[in-house]
Amino acid sequence: MPPPAILDPGALDAAKIIADRQAIEAYNHQRFEFQLLDAVLLFDETTRVFAGYHDVRADAWWARGHIPGRPLFPGVLMIEVAAQLSSYASNRALARTGFLGFVGVDGVKFRGAVEPPARFLVVGRATMLKPRRTVCVTQGFVGDAMVFEAEITGMPI
């Protein structure tokens, strides 16, 4: 049984983007094919809740080989999207632009497959925001179905 949702994915308006790929670059250093976070939809400094998405496409660099004839978005890339969103939220909350390295992941559960085309929506909440360490609880959705959860830890590198 999945945990309660941090935020109801249906409550988000995908047309209200607060940060596009270019704006995300001010906080995150991934580029080219590894810039997986496509947009940020929510960043609430008071509640420390945030949301963003990655559009999973059939022509993505990984799709040809993972799995031929039935591409599945790799779980490690689900974790990476969650880490990039957590990095964006943590750096923005702490007003820093340096590189926040992904140093840990705990409690990972994959609850469903993500097949292109799909919007992989990630919601999260920062549970620790300190200059030397951040921890964020994240959940991934396709539609209303929770397909992923993980706790992401980051440190400035």
DSSP string, 49-84: EEEEEEEE-TTSTTTTTSSTTS----HHHHHHHHHH
- pLDDT per position as a tens digit, 62-102: 999 999 999 999 999 999 999 999 999 999 999 998 999 99
Contact 109, 125 (CB under 8 A): no
Q: Residue 1: which pLDDT band, with cuts at 50, 70 and 90?
A: confident
Does 66 participate in catalysis according to the annotation? yes
Q: Residue 107: which pLDDT band, with cuts at 50, 70 and 90?
A: very high
Domain 9-156 has CATH 3.10.129.10: yes
Q: Residue 55: which pLDDT band, with cuts at 50, 70 and 90?
A: very high
Over residues 5-34, mean pLDDT: 96
Question: What is the reported pTM?
Answer: 0.97
Structure tokens at 74: 């790799």
Query: Which residue from 56, 143, 126, 132 is spatially nearest to 85, judged by alpha carbons?
Result: 126
Q: Catalytic residue among 21, 29, 66, 133, which?
A: 66
pLDDT surpassing 90 at residue 49:
yes
The alpha carbon dihedral of 92, 98, 104, 105 has a sign of positive
Over residues 126-131, mean pLDDT: 97
pLDDT at 84 (0 to 100) = 98
User: What percent of the chain shows pLDDT beyond 70?
Assistant: 100
pLDDT at 124 (0 to 100) = 98
pLDDT at 132 (0 to 100) = 96
Sequence ranges of the domains in the chain: 9-156
Over residues 107-115, mean pLDDT: 98
**Mean pLDDT for the chain overall:** 97
Over residues 97-119, mean pLDDT: 96
pLDDT at 73 (0 to 100) = 98
Query: What does residue 113 show for φ and ψ, rounded to 5 degrees?
Result: -85, 150
Composition of the chain by helix, strand, coil, percent to 5: 20, 40, 45
